[in-house]
Amino acid sequence: MRSRSSLLTFTLILGAALLIGALNLAVPPGAAMHAPDYIVSLAGKYTCYAILALALDLVWGFAGILSLGHAAFFALGGYAIGMYLMRQIGARGVYGSAVLPDFMVFLNWKELPWYWHGFDMFWFAALMALAVPALLASLFGYFAFRSRVTGVYLSIMTQALTYALMLAMFRNDMGFGGNNGLTDFKDILGFPLAAASTRVALLLASALALGLCVLLARFVVASRFGKVLVAVRDAESRTRFLGYRPESYKLTVFVLSAAMAGLGGALYVPQVGIINPSEFSPANSIEAAIWVAVGGRGTLSGAILGAVLVNLGKTVLTGALPDAWLFVLGGLFIAVTLFLPGGIAGTWFIRKPRGARAPAAGVREAAP
């Protein structure tokens, strides 16, 4: 039943992406059914946000870990691909250095820092986009879960983590372009990024990635592992007394989720054409949490729905009433927590809400 619904989600996502791509490429501009380029890039952005939301839902909705630093994993994945794209510019940069990106020439650097080596190969950058977030998550998670930091404390620490990373990335001598970040990308795997066909291909790749992530997440939460995870969320001590090790379950899902967020970021950067340290800002991570909360945490399709709906609202409102958007976003935070704890999916689409009203999503268990 459930696996069928996620297959449906998979088909829907891919179908929508294919439709938008076809309407963009096959229908001539000017025709009523033509999908303009900005629709393609918007859809691509939303798809990447949905991957981030799905990743966050996996840890928050199913393991009770509210990470307020998930945008950091997203941005790290983005930086990895951004570094590849920078290397691809080669001698076409403003300063025409074949090896050094423009900002390094500008800073008077003579040679490539060691951690930039290998990023001229796509497979390496793609691997790093997954591995770096996963590594950071496993380090952080290992320490945090081992010492049983839970609930709000964990949230604040993840927030401090992304805050520290943001401050670090703002520094010029970190070698990641400082304040301006990485931008002016030319092409990916030899295809120019400005071409419509490349953009459609990127959208399709993102949709495929999202669909596969949904299937993977469904597989994880439906497995025995996922059942223990939900048990940890609802009653961590009891699960521990039953002989499980909650920390290793949490660590595994945290690392998986971080890699997933990194994948989202890696697909995001070629489509928006820039990555800079503000992606690490704590507000971004909290915004991702609200996507999940609006859509319904503990439901996989809900997270995707929330990401798309909230961002759609953001796009429309920041265009029409720029001043009102933050009021709406703030209001969403309050309204969802007060009146719609299960989110849209949890309240309306699923008859027996599994994740909705989860009493223990992070609540410290009362001492007996």
**Residue 121 engages another protein in binding (rule: CB under 8 A):** no
* DSSP-assigned letters across all residues of 279-334: GG-HHHHHHHHHHHHHH-TT-HHHHHHHHHHHHHHHHHHHHH-TTTHHHHHHHHHH
Taking the least distance from each CB to another protein, the nearer of 125 and 307 is: 307
Task: Kindly state the smallest distance separating residue 360's Cβ from another protein, in Å.
Answer: 10
Please tell me whether residue 69 adopts helix, strand or coil conformation.
Answer: coil
Taking the least distance from each CB to another protein, the nearer of 2 and 171 is: 171
- Going by C-alpha positions, the residue among 314, 307, 270 that lies closest to residue 291 is 307
- Residue 356 DSSP class: T
- 183, 87 Cβ separation under 8 angstroms: no
**Residue 227 engages another protein in binding (rule: CB under 8 A):** no
**Residue 151 engages another protein in binding (rule: CB under 8 A):** yes
**Residue 115 engages another protein in binding (rule: CB under 8 A):** no
**Residue 54 engages another protein in binding (rule: CB under 8 A):** no
**Residue 17 engages another protein in binding (rule: CB under 8 A):** no
- 144, 154 Cβ separation under 8 angstroms: yes
Q: Pattern 280-299, binding to another protein, x per CB under 8 A?
A: --x---x--xx--x------
Task: Kindly state the smallest distance separating residue 61's Cβ from another protein, in Å.
Answer: 11
The residues pairing with 183 across neighbouring beta strands, listed in sequence order, are: 274
Q: Pattern 153-192, binding to another protein, x per CB under 8 A?
A: x-xxx-xxx-xx--xx-xx---------------------
**Residue 245 engages another protein in binding (rule: CB under 8 A):** no
Name the one range near another protein by CB under 8 A: 13-21, 115-123, 146-154, 268-276. 146-154
- Residue 176 DSSP class: S
Distances (CA, A) of 244 to 50, 148, 231: 31, 14, 10
- 280, 168 Cβ separation under 8 angstroms: no
Positions touching another protein (CB under 8 A) are 66, 140, 143-144, 146-149, 151-153, 155-157, 159-161, 163-164, 167-168, 170-171, 282, 286, 289-290, 293, 323, 326-327, 329-334, 336-338, 341, 361-364, 367
